Amino acid sequence: MSSRAENSYDFVRFCAASAVLFSHHFDLAGLPEPPVPGYGEDFGELGVEVFFCLSGFLICRSLQNSASWVRFVCARILRIFPNLAFVLVVSSTVTFLWYGKDDYLWPHIAYVVDNLLLFVRGVTQVIPGVFTDASRPAVNEPLWTLPYELWLYTVLALIFVLGTRWSSVGGVVGALLLGMVWSAAPLVGGFDLGPLHSLDFVRLGSYFLSGAVLAVFWRVIGRHALAIGAVGLVGTFIVRNLLPIDTIFHSLALAGAVIGLGSSKAMAWFSKGGDASYGMYVFAWPVQQFSLLLIGPFWLSMLAAFVTTTAVGYTTWHAFEKRAMSYPERLAQILQRGIRRDRLAKRDLSRDPGWITLALLRRACSARSSLHRAASSDQKSSSPGWGRYAALSVFDMRERPAHTRPCSPRLFPSADTPSPRNRRIAAHPRRTRCTAGCRGVAQACRARPRIV
């Protein structure tokens, strides 16, 4: 993946986060959100679509260059959850102190816990007794897009894991299928998919996979990035105004414009300050809520919210976001070391010397003890040679070559004629060495000296 100094993607993300903040401030003030001229959607929707186009492109490039799926998962977790946990704790604490209602302490705690599980449970938007004096009682509404982004990460990763050499084809086919479902969605209607809604999933998924499709072919078309961006920008407005329904052409055109123009080095200098977009996105709504409550004039409150949110975004980036993004390799090594240790343990157990597992050793000790008791009490079995048969049934030696048998049948003669040597073996089932010279059992004894 290209370094931050070679493209303007950080600037694109900053503009998208600013567009979301701009649009939401109208909504929080009880005003209609202004549409983008010639686009047909408001600034907030456009900003979210830009995020998903760029995210699909960069995540696909990350999967192409990733040597381990463990590192990919660690990188995604460390990118999303540290700042998510921070904003949840801060917003819950500040609103609890601001409104000062001790009866609602548990709802504040539940708000944090539930939203940390938003991947499977969805987003909790309201805390009882909070922002009841505002036009919108939601604590942090933009968080609704995070479950979609996390599930789309999962879908794209599964395409790469299951598709192996055909993963590129799988990404293209997935984008086309979602695009067709997106076009037919108004006719079919929407329904819930666990924490997701079908209409939002196919819409955002189309933009995400459109970015992934460009990443698949980027090695071929990347040299014409600026031309692709210009064509995509013009095509976005043409398609928006000519086609009456949403299609895959909408998402592909916007993805081409965002990724093509963003690959330019014109605004690469903006990356020197870091990437504040994620912090701005998750902190903007609660900051705007308090800004509107404390500052009367609309435009002044928007300016105050923008400055505060930008400062918070850069602070969280330099405080822990940037640092957390340097840990995926270490975390992946720890997890891979644990996984490798478990695999070796299972393999060693399955390849136990003499084909003996711990369970079979326990049964062998039980058989030896039985032989000793029968020999000492001088009780003859009704079937001569039963001890030999028991040993054979325990180890199932008839199915194994002679050199891999854990014990020779002659070590377990019939109970009516026990030899002193065999009696000594049966009397000491917990010995650390095999006194009969049986090589297989001796190896097992050294591997597991104490047989319980």
Q: Answer yes or no: is 134 within a domain.
A: yes
Q: Is 173 exposed, middle or buried (0-12, 13-18, 19+ CB in 10 A)?
A: middle
Task: Report, as an integer, the average pLDDT of 286-295.
Answer: 96
| Residue 174 to residues 10, 44, 49, 158, Cα–Cα distance (Å) | 27, 26, 18, 11
User: How confident is the model over 296-308, as pLDDT tens digits?
Assistant: 899 999 999 999 9
Tally of domains within the chain: 2
Question: Residue 68 contacts by C-beta under 8 Å, 6 or more apart in sequence?
Answer: 332, 336
Question: Which pLDDT does position 387 carry in this prediction?
Answer: 43
Question: Residue 344 contacts by C-beta under 8 Å, 6 or more apart in sequence?
Answer: none
Which domain range does residue 382 map to?
353-447
431: phi then psi, degrees, rounded to nearest 5: -65, 145
Q: Answer yes or no: is 52 within a domain.
A: yes
How does residue 374 score in pLDDT terms, banded at 50, 70 and 90? low
User: How confident is the model over 217-228, as pLDDT tens digits?
Assistant: 999 999 999 999
The last residue of one of the domains, among 281, 305, 338, is: 338
Q: Answer yes or no: is 345 within a domain.
A: no
Q: Answer yes or no: is 118 within a domain.
A: yes
Q: Answer yes or no: is 344 within a domain.
A: no
Cα–Cα–Cα angle for 375, 379, 384, nearest 5°? 90
In total, the chain counts a number of residues equal to: 452
Task: Judge if pTM exceeds 0.95.
Answer: no
Q: Answer yes or no: is 241 within a domain.
A: yes
In the predicted model, is pLDDT for residue 357 greater than 70? Answer: no
